[in-house]
Amino acid sequence: MSKILPIIKAGTPILYKRAKAVSFPLAQDVLEHVNNMVTTLKNTDGLALAAPQINIPLRLLAVNIPKVAPAKRYDFLSDPNHKAFPLTVLVNPTLTALSKEKTEGWESCLSFPGYRGKVSRHQSLICEWFDTEGTRHSQALEGFNARVIQHEYDHLEGIVYVQRITDFSTFSLI
Ligand code: NI
């Protein structure tokens, strides 16, 4: 049975620590963390969750980006080129930027509820990861999906989006 776990909020040390790589095959407790992370994500109106946000210091992400925005705060998802990134668990993800060019856009975070701010991110990248069985995957992402993955990857590095805001006057209530 998987559980909905409380989401770790701003000011908690685990959010600012680098998460550890996961070894294969996945241990039973790691599989339980994965299931809890997916169940917890589904219980939010968020699009992605990093394991440190549920107090697990491992390089695991759960991402679930629909084609159509699930909440009003995502209405900037109206990009006609936006594609869904269906529910995926990414183990030990790595990112390689494809564009030097960065674009600014709004971000928010389940660990900073009620706030948003503008952050510059690479427009396109290659994301590589392992699934829970240990199979390697690679996918090119651009635009909003590339932004979400960069935000989540930062969580594994102990960085939160608020630290990336260049014009702090954009840090504001949703
Ligand atoms: Ni976040």
Chain centre distance of CA 73: 16
- Mean pLDDT for the chain? 94
Spacing, Cα 108 to ligand 1 middle (Å): 7
Q: What is the pLDDT of residues 21-55, one digit of tens each?
A: 999 999 999 999 999 999 999 999 899 999 999 99
Spacing, Cα 70 to ligand 1 middle (Å): 16
Share of the chain above pLDDT 70, in %: 95
- What pLDDT is stored for residue 70 in this prediction? 66
> Are the C-beta atoms of residues 54 and 32 closer than 8 Å to each other?
no
- From 67-71, 74-78, 116-120, 139-143, the region with the lowest mean pLDDT: 74-78
Q: Which position has the token pair 């992400």? A: 61
pTM for the whole thing?
A: 0.95
User: Is 152 part of the annotated catalytic residue set?
Assistant: yes
Spatial CB neighbours of 11, under 8 Å, sequence gap ≥ 6: none
- CA-to-CA distance for 80 and 14, rounded, in angstroms? 37
Spacing, Cα 46 to ligand 1 middle (Å): 9
Spacing, Cα 13 to ligand 1 middle (Å): 15
Q: Which position has the token pair 């590339």? A: 146
Name the active-site residue from 101, 107, 128, 152: 152
pLDDT of 69 higher than 90: no
Q: In what order do the strands lie in the sheet with 48-50?
A: 48-50, 60-65, 85-97, 124-130, 136-142
- Residue 67's pLDDT band, with cuts at 50, 70 and 90, is confident
Spacing, Cα 64 to ligand 1 middle (Å): 13
Going by their DSSP bridges, the two strands 60-65 and 115-122 should be labelled as unpaired
- Bigger pLDDT: 30 or 174? 30
**Domains of the chain in sequence order:** 13-173 (3.90.45.10)
- What pLDDT is stored for residue 71 in this prediction? 67
- CA-to-CA distance for 148 and 161, rounded, in angstroms? 11
- Bigger pLDDT: 41 or 70? 41
pLDDT of 121 higher than 80: yes
- Residue 143's pLDDT band, with cuts at 50, 70 and 90, is very high
